[in-house]
Amino acid sequence: MKKLNAIATMILLSLLAASGQQQNTPLIKQAYKFESTTQLVIINVGAKEKDGRPIENLQASDFTVTEDGKPQAIKVFEYQRLEGARLPQPAPALASRTGAATPAAAAAVQPTITPARPGEIRYRDSRLLALYFDFQGMPTDDQVRAQSGALKFIASQMTSADRVAIMSYAGELKVLQDFTADRDQLQKVIGKLVIGEASEMANTVSDESAEDTGAAYSADDSEFNIFNTDRQLTALANAVKMLASLPEKKALVYFASGVSRNGIDNDAQLRATVNAALRSNVAIYPVDARGLVATAPAGNATRGSGGGAGNQGNFSGGAGRAMAGNFQGSQDTLYALAADTGGKAFLDSNDLSLGVMQAQKDIASYYILGYYSPNARMDGKYRRIKVQINSRLSARLDYRTGYFASKEFKQFNAADRERQLEEALMLGDPVTDLTLAVETDYFRLAKDRYYVPVSVKLPGSDIELAKHGGPESARLDFIGQVRDAKGQLAATVRDYITVKLKGETAVELAKRTVAYDAGFTLHPGTYTLKFLTRENETGKMGTFETKFTVPDLSADNGLLPISSVVLSNQKEKVENAAGSAGPNMRLFNFNPLVRNGEKLAPSVTRVFRKDQEMYVFLEAYEPNSKTTQRIVATLSLYRGRVKAFETQPMQITEGLDPATKALAVRFSFPLRDLEPGRYTCQVSILNPAAERFAFWRAPVVLLP
């Protein structure tokens, strides 16, 4: 067969040459495009006997690998023997020179980790450890501890088999050092980390544990940079993607002061980060840089005292419970990153170098297996992997049990767009190309029914405008689902809006945000909202997933029942506020944010500017009243320990809705006289006749 193929090739070349001589004209070169959709899947397999001894000297034929139950042919096979001895201690002069805690200069930066060619084993018999310093919001003391722990590992615990890379994040992901065994270079790079960088971006809380710092706050022009958790997780996902091309087993040691969830964060981004790590064959080992923390009931000497309700919380125990809950919540995210990627979280210890040693210990000798998946569909679905040793079925194997396939969403015709949106919404690996912020509120309609408006914001810089016969426009599609605690579908939405801008105004879109609103009627309970947006010019999508609770305000808990408190800086005409879907238009009749043909647009990110006016709206409920009972309401803005602004007490004596038993409370005031910074907005409401009150507070940011 090979001989016949060779003869056919020679005849073809002769004919082409003869044709060229007869015509005496050059041949027209035609470019041929060859495409391959096969995907190389790499699996790192640790194999041990029952007694823990590693199993060595196996061949590719000794393994059976299946994907979704179908046997796969092993095309890449390599054994990584990791038996490196611990390196000797460095000279004292070198250790003292590189261990400076607060250097002035930053380390040199390279753009990315050097990738490997498909199937290439670049770091043979090496253990790959990436040290990732998340300085965004990490207090200075924690940054010093993280730096010292890393230096201790490099100086006294690194082995000859270790290859270490250094990454940092302080608002921007940087690769400070590619994988290397040069201990002196690693010490130099870690020693030049800029201590104190981005520490002011720490997540804040608005509960009873909130402290009064008295500090000003300077922020980026983009309000989407105010809330940092999604940005931190996105940077972490980008870091593990840099390691994807390396087939070796990799561990990313993640130094952080916990990852706080402040109620506006996107659960889909956490899931996307975990899936990126699984797809890149990276195990994440979080190290809590706070070390061992003994939390005093009212806080220790490193934090300010509570202000407002915080002082009451110190005596009632509320502040202590809130601090413990916030601390536990920040560690829960670290634990989730470790457990879901095959790593281990290192918490509550002051010797942070042990966290790096934990990752070092877990990467023992292992086999690298690779196969080309015959499933060429780029559908983003989960594919299950099973590995076994044919002759030793009782062996203990350690490997990833599956991965999410890559996703590719091309431009579809109108008939395919609906199917694409539905499939993207149901993916186990969420699409997070667009940045979304979502706010859910609740307003009482009846004893057992509530109107739940959903407000969506995305930065205009994420949208590509295309010219269509003059005006520049882009269509945004929206699809969403609300499921109850049992997973049953409670509500859906499918809608779109068209953004149209002309000339120079289109350029301003990059500095603005695009908003969308939908609404549902729900019973009291706990729900999960999953919302997806698609920008139709580029096909980019963004997913937002979060849990929310609709409380039962008819239950008597001794307090004055109130709705959600909506903060806004914008009012717009109803015809401009709604999308095109009929059900959403009908639900606007129940929307308390609509008044006199204008709709109050929730701020979502709660970021304001000095040239704006702040609008505040809520409803107080008097379910057993037939006439209005007088209530008194005030609004205050606190900046640190100082009350920067307070409205005059507002007395509301009429306006009770006979159907919903709601009494509307509205505030509005200009922000021009306030200094830029971070504030706490506080609303207090009192019903003197019923001797009941309500209290609400939340952080806001004022930009110049």
- Lowest-confidence segment of 98-107, 421-430, 441-450, 546-555 by average pLDDT: 98-107
**Higher-confidence residue: 302 or 362?**
362
Mean pLDDT of 478-489: 93
d(CA 365, CA 55): 9
Look up the CATH architecture of domain 92-364: 3-Layer(aba) Sandwich (3.40)
Mean pLDDT value across the chain: 79
pLDDT at 26: 40
pLDDT at 259: 79
The per-residue pLDDT for range 88-112, each reduced to its tens digit, is 766 554 444 444 444 434 445 567 8
More confident residue, 403 or 252: 252
Taking only Cα atoms into account, the Rg of the chain, rounded to an integer number of angstroms, comes to 30
pLDDT of residue 16: 34
pLDDT band at residue 479 using 50, 70 and 90 as cut-offs: very high
Model confidence at 505: pLDDT above 50: yes
- How far apart (Å, rounded) are the C-alpha atoms in residues 307 and 196? 26
Tell me the longest C-alpha to C-alpha distance in the chain: 107
Alpha-carbon span 209 to 306, nearest angstrom? 7
Sequence letter at residue 39: Q
The top-scoring range by mean pLDDT among 163-167, 219-223, 374-378, 686-690 is 163-167
Q: What is the DSSP string of 407-463?
A: B------HHHHHHHHHHHHH-SS--BSS--EEEE--EEEETTEEEEEEEEEEEGGGP
Task: Using a pLDDT cut of 90, give the percent of the chain over it.
Answer: 34
CA distances (Å), origin 627, targets 287, 556, 621, 662, 689:
58, 20, 12, 11, 13
Percent of the chain with pLDDT over 70: 75
Q: Which of 363, 207, 203 is closest to 282 using CA atoms? A: 363
Paired tokens of 264: 């506006």
pTM of the complete model: 0.70
CA distances from residue 277 to 283, 308, 601, 641 in whole angstroms, order as listed? 7, 43, 37, 43
Asked if the domains 92-364 and 414-551+583-588 are classified in one and the same CATH topology, the answer is: no
pLDDT of residue 579: 47
CA dist list (Å): 589 to 481, 574, 578, 583, 623? 21, 11, 12, 11, 21
Which stretches of 423-559 are assigned E, i.e. beta strand?
437-440, 443-446, 449-459, 466-467, 472-484, 489-501, 513-522, 525-535, 541-550
Query: What whole-number distance in Å separates Cα of residue 582 and Cα of residue 587?
Result: 9
Give the pLDDT confidence score for residue 29 in this predicted structure.
41
What is the pLDDT at residue 69? 93
pLDDT value at residue 596:
81
Lowest-confidence pick of 107-111, 113-117, 150-154: 107-111
Q: pLDDT by residue (tens digit) across 525-560?
A: 999 999 999 888 777 888 999 899 999 998 877 889
**pLDDT given at position 292:** 82
Q: How do residues 327-356 score in pLDDT, each as one tens digit?
A: 676 778 888 899 889 899 998 888 899 999
CB contact at 8 A, 84 and 385: no
Which structure tokens are listed for 665?
A: 């409370």
> Long-range contacts for 8-11 (Cβ within 8 Å, ≥24 apart)?
none
Q: Are strands 127-134 and 162-169 parallel, antiparallel or unpaired?
A: parallel
Neighbours of 269 (CB within 10 A): 25
Distances (CA, A) of 290 to 27, 103, 305, 463: 71, 21, 20, 39
Bridge partners of 609?
703
Tokens 């490196």 correspond to what residue? 84
Q: With contact defined as beta carbons under 8 Å apart, do 558 and 695 qualify?
A: no
Tokens of 383: 């594919």
Task: Find the DSSP H helices in 523-604.
Answer: 574-577, 582-587
pLDDT at 410: 58
Residue 215: the pLDDT is 33
Give the Cα separation of 598 and 448 in Å (integer): 27
pLDDT, tens only, 275-323 = 889 888 899 999 998 888 766 565 555 555 554 444 455 555 555 666 6
- Please state at what angle helix 267-279 crosses helix 318-341, rounded to 10 degrees: 30
Which residue has better confidence, 160 or 408? 160
Q: pLDDT tens digit string along 46-73?
A: 998 888 888 998 999 999 999 999 999 9
- Residue 25 clears pLDDT 80, i.e. is over it: no
Across residues 13-21, what is the average pLDDT?
Answer: 36
Give the C-alpha separation, 530 to 544, whole Å: 6
Torsion of Cα atoms, 654 then 658 then 661 then 666, to 10° = -40
CA distance 149 to 633: 52
What confidence tier does 500 reach under pLDDT thresholds 50, 70, 90?
confident
Q: Which amino acid is at 14?
A: S
Could you tell me if 155 and 89 are in contact, meaning their C-beta atoms sit under 8 angstroms apart? yes
Alpha-carbon span 540 to 506, nearest angstrom? 19
- Average pLDDT score over residue span 565-582: 71
Of 525, 544, 522, 541, the C-alpha closest to 533 is 541
Rounded distance, CA 206 to CA 496, Å? 34
The domains of the chain are located at 40-82+368-404, 92-364, 414-551+583-588
Q: Do 440 and 548 contact (CB within 8 A), yes or no?
A: yes
The mean pLDDT value for 424-431 works out to 79
pLDDT band, very low/low/confident/very high, at 120 (cuts 50, 70, 90): confident
Residue 398: closest CA among 55, 144, 23: 55
Q: How many helices (H) and strands (E) would you count in the chain?
A: 13, 33
pLDDT of residue 678: 83
Please, which residues have CB within 8 angstroms of residue 229's CB and are 6 or more apart in sequence? 203, 259, 260, 261, 262, 265
CATH number of the 414-551+583-588 domain: 2.60.40.10
At residue 577 the predicted structure's pLDDT band, cuts being 50, 70 and 90, is low
Q: Which pair of tokens denotes residue 689?
A: 């006749």
Give, as one character, the DSSP assignment of residue 199: G
